[in-house]
Amino acid sequence: MATLLFERLNTQAKLAVFAVQERAVLAWNAIRFMFVRPFYAADVMEQMDSIGVGSLFIVVLTGFFTGMVLALQSKASLAQFGETAIIGRLVTASMIRELGPVLAGLMVAGRVGSGIAAEIGSMRVTEQIDALNTLGTDPIKKLVTPRLIALLVMMPVLTIVNDAVGVIGGNLISTVFVRVPSSVYWRGVWDQIAIDGFTWRYLPNDFIQGLAKPFVFGGIIAITACYHGLNTTGGTEGVGQSTTRTVVVASVSILVVDYFMTQLFIGALNLQ
């Protein structure tokens, strides 16, 4: 019994390592094809529209209510110390550094990642990808690279929108319920994000984290979705399984990578 369990765990570990290796190869080929003709600019623009504009509503909705909840939850804690005036700084820092990138990534992984996996998976089971190979078109260059470029570009944009809307939502709650004047709230927002002269006091902590994370998350979503889509088997049932795996793996990967990136920024870059 113990031997059987060990063999099963050993097999699962090997499959996991192999999957990571395959994703790394896929990512390398997709990045390499960015600089090789033809460039499929029309496909890139189409994917940017589908990913960016198509995800705008859910990202705005998520950011707005997240900012409102942050302000509402902070009210009691800050009131104990008489520091409700800094609620603008608290909401801004939380949105830009962590909640904005992570929540935008999770929303896009659920909406866009599942869609990419389903689309490419359907092409796989209906042998359309085999047809591309027959016509001399590389499926990675035609299908993966445009989606990777689109996500690398649009994820930071969506995150910025998410952050901005979250700060606005926090302002609404702080003005109506916390009774903090809007001018005081926005002064705190400015104090959090403004550059202190040329010392770069705030810029690395907020903007590097706030823009580097969604860039990485976009790559994770694109490669994960395309990998599972390209490896779809078993007809329509396999497409559903690939979609589910994409959302689960991409979401967990975003949360894990977020921790290590935060640790890197705090430790290696000595950010406070």
Closest CA to 123 of 236, 261, 267, 21: 236
Q: pLDDT at position 202, please? A: 44
> What does the pLDDT read at residue 195?
53
Closest CA to 169 of 58, 59, 83, 71: 71
Let me know if residue 29 belongs to a domain: no
In a domain, 250, yes or no: yes
Report yes or no on 102 lying in a domain: yes
Taking residue 228's Cβ as centre, other Cβ atoms within 10 Å add up to 30
Query: How would you write the pLDDT of the chain (272 residues) with one tens digit per residue?
Result: 667 777 787 777 777 777 788 888 888 988 888 888 888 888 889 999 989 888 999 999 999 999 999 888 887 777 777 677 788 888 888 898 888 999 999 999 999 999 999 999 998 888 888 888 888 788 888 889 999 999 999 999 999 999 999 999 999 988 888 888 888 889 888 888 775 433 344 454 677 778 889 999 999 999 999 999 988 888 788 888 899 999 999 999 999 999 999 888 877 655 44
The amino acid occupying position 236 is T
Q: How many CB atoms lie within 10 A of CB 256?
A: 11
Residue 209 inside a domain? The answer is yes
Residue 28 lies in a domain: no
The reply to whether 19 falls in a domain is no
Which burial class, exposed, middle or buried, applies to 171 when counting CB atoms under 10 A from its CB (0-12, 13-18, 19+)?
buried
DSSP for 227-240 reads HHHHT--SHHHHHH
3-state percent helix, strand, coil for the chain, nearest multiple of 5? 85, 0, 15
Residue 1 is assigned to a structural domain of this protein: no
Two structure tokens written together for 158 = 């969506």
In angstroms, the CA 36 to CA 255 distance is: 33
Q: Is residue 17 part of a domain?
A: no
- Structural domain count of the chain: 1
User: Whole domain around residue 66: which residue ranges?
Assistant: 39-267
